[in-house]
Amino acid sequence: MQYSHSIQLKDFLDKQIMRHNGPAFIQDDPISIPHGYSKQQDIEIAGFLAATLAWGQRKVIISKCRELLRMMDYAPYDFVVNHRAGDLKPLLKFKHRTFNATDMLYFIHFLRHYYRQHDSLEMAFMAGLAPEADSVELALIHFHRLFFSLPDCPERTRKHIATPARKATCKRLNMFLRWMVRQDGQGVDFGLWRGIKPKQLVCPCDVHVVRVGRQLGLIRRSNIDWQAALELTQNLKQLSPEDPVRYDFALFGLGINASS
């Protein structure tokens, strides 16, 4: 499936966005987890945790997220900020793939430290982002440094927060930022954050997105790394300069349909 003409490609992908970017998308996607909340801090925390755990089958991811939130009494912000030591005991049993209790306890520790000083997780990214920046690259690098700045950070937990400084695609963080930043009125992405611009977002490189991106000639780089994520996003900016990541819905939807 090769498209040489950008107008043809844009028309094709815009139709795919219309198919997938709507309320029906939510139920079977990890974004359903933060959609269970209305308070901004709950949405941020539930979204951040859901994005962090988003690898593997979507049904399993959603199930594990619900298990985790049940351990937090379905009140993530209140739990993070006000928990006592005994409240953490259920989390000692939590595990998803290579993410274990040690990692979970540090995530809670960081979030508590952070939210006791800030109202929104947005500033954890904004502090590293220049207004004129082309992408969120430096914001992600800053967030990684900030997240692991506490003195008792377990070394093993570093693998669960990616950074462009290590050439990672940062798929899960880019997905989380898409959820928080994009605002198109379709009811899927939240559009809670206004400091980061949609045009600065980088497309999440899910395996489905990468496969379809290659088929459409949007990714030519052999390695799937940060530069590949930038290459994909730059090509999508040719179709939508102000909101390139809107095409994540199209690429992901095409990939899911092809594999089902």
Range of the structural domain that residue 68 is part of: 6-259
Contact by Cβ (8 Å): 210, 231: no
pLDDT value for 260:
57
Answer whether residue 63 is part of any domain: yes
Burial class (CB in 10 A: 0-12, 13-18, 19+), 36: middle
Give the 3-state secondary structure of residue 133.
coil
Answer whether residue 1 is part of any domain: no
Answer whether residue 238 is part of any domain: yes
Answer whether residue 114 is part of any domain: yes
pLDDT value for 258:
74
Which value, in Å, is the radius of gyration of the alpha carbons in the chain? Answer: 18
- One-letter amino acid at 170 equals C
Answer whether residue 34 is part of any domain: yes
Question: pLDDT truncated to tens, each residue of the chain (260 aa)?
Answer: 444 468 899 999 999 999 999 999 999 999 999 999 999 999 999 999 999 999 999 999 999 999 999 999 999 999 999 999 999 999 999 999 999 999 999 999 999 999 999 999 999 999 989 989 999 999 999 999 999 999 999 999 999 999 999 999 999 999 999 999 999 999 999 999 999 999 999 999 999 999 999 999 999 999 999 999 999 999 999 999 999 999 999 999 999 987 65
User: What is the tally of structural domains in the chain?
Assistant: 1
pLDDT value for 6:
83
Answer whether residue 158 is part of any domain: yes
Answer whether residue 176 is part of any domain: yes
